[in-house]
Amino acid sequence: MGLRPRLLGAVLAAGLALAGCARSSASVAPTPGKAVQALDIPNLPTDLLGLHVAKEDVSAEVAKVPSAFIDALSLYSLRHNDLVQATLQVSRFNAGADVKAEKFRQTVVNQIGSSAPRTVRLGADTVYLTTGTKQSIGMWFKGRYLFVLATRADYDEPRTLLRKALEIQP
């Protein structure tokens, strides 16, 4: 379980980012972290590009966030031989979030990662790319959902994995 800090880091980074959004929009009531529910994604494959997909329990960590702009969240680990190669976090924004607005999206993605995100087009999807500590991070929106895929910097197929993950429907 030495991998726990890595998983938590990703969750908390996003949680704080979302809390930051809530602060910037006074008219929207944020969701307390304790009220954020676990999110189930039907038809989620058990395997992505040879990596085993498993849901992680992060409810305790999410509960510590005082307020957020999301009402449901789940985190998945993607492992090869028990080693986590990537994590996928899926969050659902609450009803007050103006998810379609580019300004809102930029506010969210600007708070994730350690470098200014770069926007790329993959097929019909817009993906925001950034980096974390020894991680490559891709973010995209689908309806009211935010996907954050973090891969180890030394993982050989981050783009192929990203393209596969884009196929996941919430």
Chain contacts with another protein (rule: CB under 8 A):
113, 115-116, 118, 120-123, 126, 129-131, 135-138, 149, 151, 153-154, 156-160, 162-163
Least separation in angstroms between CB 48 and another protein: 14
Please give the span between the terminal C-alpha atoms of the chain, in angstroms, as a whole number: 28
Q: Cβ distance 129 to 114 under 8 Å?
A: no
Q: Cβ distance 137 to 148 under 8 Å?
A: yes
C-alpha dihedral sign at 56, 59, 60, 63 = positive
For residue 2, give both structure tokens. Answer: 């030495």
Q: Which is nearer to another protein, 93 or 128 (CB)?
A: 128
Least separation in angstroms between CB 106 and another protein: 13
CA-angle at 52, arms to 74 and 3, nearest 5° = 65
Q: Which is nearer to another protein, 82 or 154 (CB)?
A: 154
C-alpha dihedral sign at 157, 158, 159, 160 = positive
Nearest-angstrom CA–CA distance, 140 and 109: 9
Q: Which is nearer to another protein, 68 or 162 (CB)?
A: 162
Least separation in angstroms between CB 71 and another protein: 28
Contacts of 3 (CB under 8 A, 6+ apart): 77, 84
Q: Which is nearer to another protein, 107 or 130 (CB)?
A: 130
Q: Which is nearer to another protein, 30 or 113 (CB)?
A: 113
Least separation in angstroms between CB 7 and another protein: 18
Least separation in angstroms between CB 149 and another protein: 8
